[in-house]
Amino acid sequence: MSATVKSGEAVEPEAGKGRAAGARRVRAVRTKGGLSVRLDIRATAVGLLLLAVAPAAAVALIGSGDYPMTPSEVVAALTGGGDAGQQYIVHDLRLPRVLVGLLVGVAFGVSGAVFQTVSRNPLGSPDVLGFAQGSSVGALAAIVYFQADAFGVAAGAVAGGVGTGIAIFLLAWKRGIHGYRFVLVGIGASAMLYAMVLFLMTKANIVEATRATTWMTGSLNGRGWDQVEPLAAVCAVLVPLLLFFGRPLRMLEMGDDAAYALGVRVDRVRIVVLLTAVVLVAAATAAAGPISFVALTAPQLARRLTLPRRLKGGGGAPMPGPNLVLSGLMGAVLLVAADWASQQLFGADQLPVGVLTGVLGGGYLLWLLATERKAGRV
């Protein structure tokens, strides 16, 4: 690509509010080949910060455990240095766990941003809408009725999540998908699927129930390369596909009529991104279990970090977005940081990361509901 020859900086009013409500500083970059790119300076800075924090958190997590390692020792082992013991601990025991955490965080963050955008509701995340429960039903059915191995449980989780997504989509369809109907159908499906989870638990023997409970908690313990490779392949295909639809998703937030006027094929875009996000959630859940609230909080935190201060109150207007890249990075940082915190706070009696994210995410959900109610949106 030719070198950049022109650039300009401008202040763009946000959400039609003008300078009084806040503005975003953007930079237009043009090349000799005619390519023009708009860079949101604040979003770019946040993205670079998250890109620095994610590997730092990963190194800290790799260095944690019964055999602690300094960051320099971890980096040396990752780059081929260190002794044989350090190589084994890093490459065979801890690196797969961290990579699963990063990939699951990216998958949950990106898919959560897609669901919240399509539903035009900050509560429209996969764990609230029942997709995690659907994956749990599939995994539990594989454990209870087929005594499946790890691969069978993962396949059951994917099948349950995808089947749930298709069912919710069909039930919510009425001349298109509309936000609140989609959310209400998802919440109803979540309640029904939770009842199915309890039913399956009553059918399990003590060994199966223990195994099922461990999986449903959501944890990165014991994750190896068998989980890394298929999840990495899924993310490598589906995340770029969702990023390709980033611009149509931004148009959808302005409403169907405006999106149609701008040339967006609304129904087709919704079907493609929803099915893609469902498969991404199901694959991530199959790898690490139903780790809750990462998909809810990551897109919201990413948006709030990129908003000008005066817009954070919202004034009843929806936050602009989505920024799928930042949501994915935020999800990776949140999950790896939560796993590191669970190890540091509870020592040998490690708390599964799903429990910690559930506690923190539940508090965030209560705060979000209070904020939405105060703004008159719920």
Q: How far apart are CA 254 and CA 317, in angstroms?
A: 11
Domain spans of the chain, in order of start = 43-307+321-375
Stretch 112-141: mean pLDDT, rounded? Answer: 87
Name the phi and psi angles at 5, rounded to 5. Answer: -120, -20
Name the phi and psi angles at 302, rounded to 5. Answer: -60, -40
Q: How far apart are CA 201 and CA 289, in angstroms?
A: 16
Q: In CATH terms, is domain 43-307+321-375 a member of 1.20.1250.20?
A: no
pLDDT of residue 9: 47
324 pLDDT exceeds 50? Answer: yes
Beta bridge partners of 10: 26
Task: With CA atoms as reference, report the closest residue to 204 among 137, 143, 152, 151.
Answer: 143
The encoded tokens of residue 60 equal 């800290």
Q: How far apart are CA 23 and CA 38, in angstroms?
A: 15
Task: With CA atoms as reference, report the closest residue to 284 among 343, 326, 328.
Answer: 328
Per-residue DSSP letters for 198-237? HHHHHHS-HHHHHHHHHHHH---TT--HHHHHHHHHHHHH
Task: With CA atoms as reference, report the closest residue to 182 among 118, 275, 112.
Answer: 118
Q: How far apart are CA 46 and CA 306, in angstroms?
A: 7
Region of poorest pLDDT, from 2-6, 9-13, 241-245, 288-292: 2-6
pLDDT of residue 237: 95
pLDDT of residue 334: 93
Name the phi and psi angles at 178, rounded to 5. Answer: -115, 145
Please answer whether residues 156 and 142 qualify as being in contact, where contact means their C-beta atoms are separated by less than 8 angstroms.
yes
Q: What is the pLDDT of residues 325-367, one digit of tens each?
A: 999 999 999 999 999 988 888 765 578 888 889 888 888 878 8
Instruction: Locate the DSSP E strands across the chain.
Output: 4-13, 23-31, 36-40
